[in-house]
Structure formats: structure tokens, C-alpha cells
Amino acid sequence: MMYQGLFRKPKNALEIRDGEMEAGQPYIADDAYVKCPKCRKMLYAADVRDNLEVCPECGHHFPVAARRRIELLVDPQSFQEMFSPGAGNGEGREKRAAEAIEAARNPIGFPGYEEKLSAARQKSGEQEGVLCGLARIGGLPTCIFVMNMDFMMGSMGTAIGEAITQLFEFAAEKRLPVVGYTVSGGARMQEGILSLMQMAKVSGAVKRHSDEGLLYAVVLTDPTTGGVTASFAMQGDVILAEPGALIGFAGPRVIEQTILQKLPEGFQRAELLLKKGFIDDIVHRRKQRTYLINLLGLHSDQIQI
């Protein structure tokens, strides 16, 4: 089989023995290699990890779990988790956020939702689909939220809406900028209309923060669709996107089913949105931290803490 030659650097002969691949029984751990969906090359998972979860061959941006993304973005050890469900061993607001997750357990009694939540917690190791908190980016104190695709496709329910709303309210009060990373399949339908209401609720908090003259920068990652795009993803003062990210209101399949034709290549991708004037720039993951440090610095005369 031809796969073998594509492994860039087998560590030793024991790891990939001749014939193993042909038998369809690779003698390797399942997670040692990943296949790049863009260039289709087999890559060492460790190489991808060391390269900020970006394909070293073609630059494809792999999905990143929220906690890992924060690690890549903020000053070392500066992240203090607040408001996100699961952060709550504190008092007051943090405690309220922790309670939000309890409240959101199954607000409209949707059948099977609790099991889905449990499975998502198991899979992601997180309590909900967003991490929020306070961190330093290039020394500048910043409120951040990072959504998590691993958690029920990044769908937004009441717990996420509540956490992000509390973050913006806190940022407005403390006069801090907000940096957000979005990834979402849309609203969480198991919470029915209450998930839709989160779009309005977060928009209200973004508006109040904005009216205080404070900066909100948002980075759209693959994929950002539905109710998240139609609210806080598109409400940043500065809107950035990762290369190749799918960004839209309706999902591609819904559109194809509606118009009964295939969508053109590159449709709803970050590159097209840039051309159409809906985002400020596309920033490679490697450059995001530097970009944001510069951006925050240019707005930092407004920061008083």
C-alpha cells in the first residue's frame, strides 16, 4: 500500500513493520497519526500538535479544543476561569454561573437531552461548550471566551448564553476588552425557544459593553454557523477569521436543499467573506496572538483596572 511512504518520519522500524499496513492492521496507536482533510497526507499527530494544530504540509487549520486554544493564546498561567459552567468554585457571580449549568440541565424537558449532555461532558472533559474568564494577552488584562466544538457541536444553549452574557457584563463593569473565539453548529434545539432567546440576551450585553467604549474582537473558527453567527459572532468591533473557516447563517446542506443546486467551491468560506466585506481579516493561527497583542495595545489607553 502506498500510505507507508507518506508517513513522514516513522520513529523506528518496530512502529511500522513491513506488511502491517497491507494487512490493514497498522501496528500503531490510533492517535499517533492524523490524516489532513485538505491535502490528504498522513501526518504525525505530534507534529500537528507542535504546529499549533495546523497541518505542516498545507496549512489546514485543525479544530482546537477550547482549553488548548486558550493555552496557545494567553500569557502562560494567566487564565483564570470565570463564569463558564464548571468554573464555579468561587463566590457570587462565579457561583451563579455554576448554578446556570444546573438550571440548564433540561429547561424544556426535551427527551434524551440529559443523556446527550452527559455524553458531551464525558467526551470533551468540559462541563459545557464554552470557557470564559480573565487572562493576560501580552500583559494586557482581557476577558476571553472560547467555544468548544467537542461539546454538542458547539451548539448554544442557556448555559453558554448565560456565561458569555456574564462575561460581557463583567467586562463592561471592569472596563476590559473582550476577545472571543466562536465555533458553533448553531442554537441548541434541545433547549427550544430558550436557546433562541440567548441570541438576544448576549446581543444586549455586547451592546452595553460597546456603549462603554470598550473593544470586542472576535475570531471566527471553522465552523461558525446559525444563531451564533447571527448574533455575537457578527457583532465584534473587529471580526477576524481563521483560514478556510466555514462561516454562515444557514448550513450548506440546508441551502442546497432549498435552492436544489450544488454550492460553488469556497462558498461561505472565510476568504469569500473577506472579499464580500463581512470580516476585517483572515489571520493564521500562528499570528493570532501577535495580532491580538497589537490590537489590544492600540486600544489599551481605554483600559483602566
Partner 1 sequence: MTEAVEYRAYRRVEEARAKGRPTGRDYIDNLISNFTEFHGDRRFGDDAAVVSGIGRLRNMPITVIATDKGRTTKEKVAHNFGSPHPEGYRKALRQMKLAEKFHRPVLCIVDTAGAYPGIGAEERGQAQAIAENLMAMMSLKTPVISLFIGEGGSGGALALAVADRVFMMENAVYSVISPEGCASILWKDAKKMKEAAECLKLTAQDLMALGVAERVISEPENFREETRQAKQVYYRLEDLLYEEFQWLRKKSEEELLAQRYERFRKFGRPDSEQRADCQAGQ
Give the whole-angstrom CA distance, residue 133 versus residue 167.
7
Q: Which three cell numbers stand for residue 272?
A: 469569500
Are 186 and 151 in contact by the 8 Å Cβ rule? The answer is: no
Q: Which of 166, 132, 156, 167 is nearest to 146 (CA)?
A: 132
Q: Which of partner 1, Zn ion, none interacts with 142 (beta carbon under 5 to 8 A by kind)?
A: none
Q: Which of Zn ion, partner 1, none interacts with 39 (beta carbon under 5 to 8 A by kind)?
A: Zn ion
Q: Which of partner 1, Zn ion, none interacts with 57 (beta carbon under 5 to 8 A by kind)?
A: Zn ion
- Count CB-CB contacts under 10 A for residue 78: 15
Closest distance to partner 1 from the beta carbon of 257 (Å): 9
Q: Which three-class secondary structure state does DSSP give residue 180?
A: strand
Give the whole-angstrom CA distance, residue 45 versus residue 51.
10
Q: Does 9 bind partner 1 (CB under 8 A)?
A: no
Q: Which of 165, 35, 22 is nearest to 104 (CA)?
A: 165
Helix segments in 80-191, DSSP class H: 92-103, 113-124, 158-174
The residue from 130, 233, 292, 295 that contacts partner 1 (CB under 8 A) is: 233
Q: Which is nearer to partner 1, 36 or 228 (CB)?
A: 228
Q: Which is nearer to partner 1, 209 or 285 (CB)?
A: 209
Closest distance to partner 1 from the beta carbon of 166 (Å): 9
Q: Which of 143, 161, 155 is nearest to 78 (CA)?
A: 143
Closest distance to partner 1 from the beta carbon of 98 (Å): 9
* DSSP-derived secondary structure letter, 149: T
Q: Which of Zn ion, partner 1, none interacts with 1 (beta carbon under 5 to 8 A by kind)?
A: none
The residue from 1, 58, 119, 263 that contacts partner 1 (CB under 8 A) is: 263
Q: Which is nearer to Zn ion, 60 or 69 (CB)?
A: 60
Give the whole-angstrom CA distance, residue 165 versus residue 28.
45
Q: Which of 32, 35, 36, 34 is nearest to 59 (CA)?
A: 36
Q: Does 197 bind partner 1 (CB under 8 A)?
A: yes
CA 147, 38, 264: angle at the middle one, nearest 5? 90
Q: What residues form DSSP beta bridges with 136?
A: 141
Q: Does 291 bind partner 1 (CB under 8 A)?
A: no
The residue from 193, 265, 301, 305 that contacts partner 1 (CB under 8 A) is: 193
Q: Which stretch binds partner 1 (CB under 8 A): 22-30, 59-67, 119-127, 190-198?
A: 190-198
Closest distance to partner 1 from the beta carbon of 96 (Å): 6
Q: Which three cell numbers stand for residue 165?
A: 452574557
Q: Which of partner 1, Zn ion, none interacts with 55 (beta carbon under 5 to 8 A by kind)?
A: Zn ion
Q: Which is nearer to Zn ion, 32 or 194 (CB)?
A: 32
Q: What is the binding site for Zn ion (CB under 5 A)?
A: 36, 38-39, 55, 57-58, 60
The CA dihedral of 106, 254, 69, 203, to the nearest 10 degrees, is: -60
Give the footprint of partner 1 on residues 41-100 (CB under 8 A): 96, 99-100
Q: Which stretch binds partner 1 (CB under 8 A): 45-53, 142-150, 183-191, 281-289?
A: 183-191
In the numeric block, the cell 440546508 is attached to: 254
Helix segments in 125-267, DSSP class H: 158-174, 192-211, 226-229, 252-259
Site residues (CB under 8 A) for partner 1? 96, 99-100, 102-104, 107-111, 157-159, 161-162, 165, 187, 189-201, 203-204, 206-208, 210-211, 226-227, 229-235, 247-250, 254-255, 258-259, 263-264, 267-268, 272, 276, 278
